[in-house]
Structure 1
Amino acid sequence: MLNGWVVSVLFITLLVSLCNPRGVSDIKTLHFSETHTNTHTHTLFSFLSTLQYDFYRKSCPNAENIVRSSVANIYSHHQDISASLLRLFFHDCFIQGCDASILLDPITGDATYSTEKQAIPNLTLKGFHEIDQIKEELERVCPRVVSCADILSLATRDAVVLAGGPFYPVFTGRRDSTRAYFEEATADMPRPDDSINRTLYLFATRGLDERDMVSLLGAHNIGKIGCQFILNRLYNFSGTNLPDPSIDPEFLNHMRSKCQEKENNENNNGSQDQMSPASSPISKEASVEKLRRSTLDVSNFQELSSALSLEGGFDTHYYKSLLSGRGLLYADQQLMANEKTGRLVQGYASDDGSTFRRDFARAMVKLSVLDVLTGSQGQIRERCGY
């Protein structure tokens, strides 16, 4: 009975948020069609008929507490786990729904079967080992009860909260996919160099509108940006062998310097050479390949613009950087190339971050219920990798 009341309250809150999005004046000017609203409402009704709040209350009463305490323990040693799990969760849900297909390992000896892990957009994903750890602990208490898909969903929410992000409800009862989707992951994941039109299209095909997209991309507030994701902007934009002409020259030099500095520090070879691949005496190809392994953490991201906040986390610095033309990823900066998404960026950047946090929580709920497997569908894996 209590579960029913909880679901009803949460559903009404989410439904009001979806049908009447709130925010500062710039955001209020955006209007979403009745078709979009009806689609969102139908989606919510659909998942509430299959997923439940506290689904494991009888079959594994301590499941969510075990996930929460495990994530807290991991976070105490590795705070970058929040960004890792958030990205892992997004990559899972975006391809064929939140079904833990991203966690499946390649089959030894079967060269004809490729997993999502092996798709190019997923090669830099992290967090697999941590999810396996949580699964092992749950298996000791409740064998073959809690799905890997639910573990990833719950762990991501708990990691977001630990990183200073908003709490949002996670409905459970997902089951795990029996297969991976290599081709789909290769073709349909948003890319760092995507245009705004392609990014909008990919999100729209999954029932996620402009507001959802802009708020979810705000997750780039935390974690690390791989230098490999911005190399084309820095040295070979659109195959021209030149940098992206829209980048401010000072910002361009700073990005090049930071990536090169990071690579030099990680190599720890004593070299003080800070030259870019374009000016290095060694081959450009060799130097760029080295940079592919380096990353910019959040502090470096913030240093790249005087307009950015001095603190990391779920605030407005990501959106402020876009307003100043200093988005690291081309796809991020492209949010300013569209009238609707540009106004959303302006709206999120203009308050204390509360609007972004609210919309991010709402979008995460929508993302978390995409094409879930329930009931007799799929399986409950004993191990998340197979």
Structure 2
Amino acid sequence: MSRERRLPLVLALAAAVVGVLAVASPRAEAELQVGFYNATCPIAEGVVFAEMHAILHEDPTLAPSLLRMHYHDCFVQGCDGSIMLRSRRGTAERDATPNRSMRGYDAIERIKARLETLCPLTVSCADIIAMAARDAVYLSKGPWYGVETGRRDGNVTVAEYAENDLAPPDSNIVDVKTFFSVKSLTAKDIVVLFGSHSIGTSHCEAFRKRLYNFTGAMDQDPSLDARYARQLRKLCPRRGGGRGRRAKVPMDPGSGFTFDLSYYRHVLATGGLFQSDGSLLHDPATRGYVERMANASSPDEYYQDFAAAMVKMGRTDVLPDSLGEVRATCGVFVD
């Protein structure tokens, strides 16, 4: 079946949404389900997809960041859109170290603004982030999957929470499993979700320690392939100034814009870009999955697993109606 035939009909109608107004109806209790907005804003997914298609046509490098945004949102206080909130004091989640390189905030606001003209105060920012992540994957030649919607937006954002709840790229497998287990995600979920590193780039600082000071003795991570390490050192000099400071390194060399299985082949052959990527080889369960996907002739199994893991992650600590809200602008607190 072609990708076009797999795409739901509602998205094929996305180009026709201009000038269409949704008729509001009483909002049901917040409960995640595919098609949550069918009654209140039936064009919601079509609008998001149309905007994402235009956004990624203008800048395809935003796809991995918008996928990453959903992960960073869900792991900090749950999937509540709080990563979008701006703080005048520089103390919001988006100000935390793990989010300083995040891009795509303007893209989410662009989608939100379009939806506000059609279905005011109906579609939450948290749901837009979740749908945009799915569309980023699909438009990068990855799988299509149904996104459960019905999330409410949170109004608390604390940089320290992001610092504490997001696994750093130099995590070992024990640390990674700890970060994910507190979100009720399993070892399989970890190795599946790490496959999202098949698209995107990283700045050198995220893995420089692995090249030059792995144990604090000015050494290199011995699990990193020697040839790959030499390539990385050329791109990321020890001192990190000039070209090295600005360099962006693909997380999956040769396939950085295509959502596919080559990430697993890269990890198995080289140890991956981040220490956390390489850590997948240090646990029997995660290593077994890496090996199977690296040698798979078709991505079908992975695509099914990825869809299931994303839906599961998207249920993390979702706010009920009584505790959440729907903001008109994702980055602005409701008075």
Q: Structure 1-normalised TM-score?
A: 0.74
CA shift, 1:130, in A, is 0.2
Aligned to 1:68, what secondary structure does the other structure show?
helix
Give yes or no for the alignment of 1:291 onto 2:244.
Answer: yes
Specify the alignment match of 1:359 in structure 2. Answer: 305
Aligned to 1:238, what secondary structure does the other structure show?
coil
Specify the alignment match of 1:102 in structure 2. Answer: 83
C-alpha distance in 2, partners of 1:162/1:250? 32
Count of residue pairs the alignment pairs up: 303
Give yes or no for the alignment of 1:385 onto 2:331.
Answer: yes
In the alignment, structure 2 segments of 5+ residues that lack a partner are 1-28
Deviations for 1:289-311, whole angstroms, at most 9, x for unmatched residues?
A: 7634321136xx425xxxxxx68
Give yes or no for the alignment of 1:191 onto 2:168.
Answer: yes
In the alignment, structure 1 segments of 5+ residues that lack a partner are 1-47, 261-275, 278-283, 304-309
Which one has a bigger Cα radius of gyration? 1
From 51, 60, 70, the counterpart of 2:32: 51
C-alpha distance in 1, partners of 2:253/2:142? 18
Specify the alignment match of 2:21 in structure 1. Answer: none
CA shift, 1:355, in A, is 1.7
Mapping of 1:60-75 within 5 angstroms?
60-75=41-56
From 110, 114, 128, the counterpart of 2:105: 128
Please tell me whether the aligned partners of residues 173 and 276 of structure 2 are also in contact (alpha carbons under 8 angstroms).
Answer: yes
C-alpha distance in 1, partners of 2:169/2:69? 16
Aligned to 2:224, what secondary structure does the other structure show?
coil
CA shift, 1:382, in A, is 1.1
Residues 51 and 250 of structure 1: CA distance in aligned 2, closer, same or farther (over 3 Å):
closer
Residues 97 and 311 of structure 1: CA distance in aligned 2, closer, same or farther (over 3 Å):
closer
From 138, 143, 150, the counterpart of 2:127: 150
- Identity rate of aligned residues, in percent? 38
C-alpha distance in 1, partners of 2:80/2:120? 19
Specify the alignment match of 2:279 in structure 1. Answer: 334
From 61, 77, 91, the counterpart of 1:114: 91
CA shift, 1:312, in A, is 5.1
Aligned residues: CA RMSD: 1.9
CA shift, 1:354, in A, is 1.9
C-alpha distance in 2, partners of 1:366/1:374? 17
C-alpha distance in 1, partners of 2:173/2:31? 34
Specify the alignment match of 1:272 in structure 2. Answer: none
Moved over 4 A (4+): none
From 260, 265, 275, the counterpart of 1:315: 260
Q: Structure 2-normalised TM-score?
A: 0.85
Deviations for 1:182-218, whole angstroms, at most 9, x for unmatched residues?
A: 2221112011100100001111111110111100000
C-alpha distance in 1, partners of 2:66/2:256? 21
Residues 297 and 311 of structure 1: CA distance in aligned 2, closer, same or farther (over 3 Å):
closer
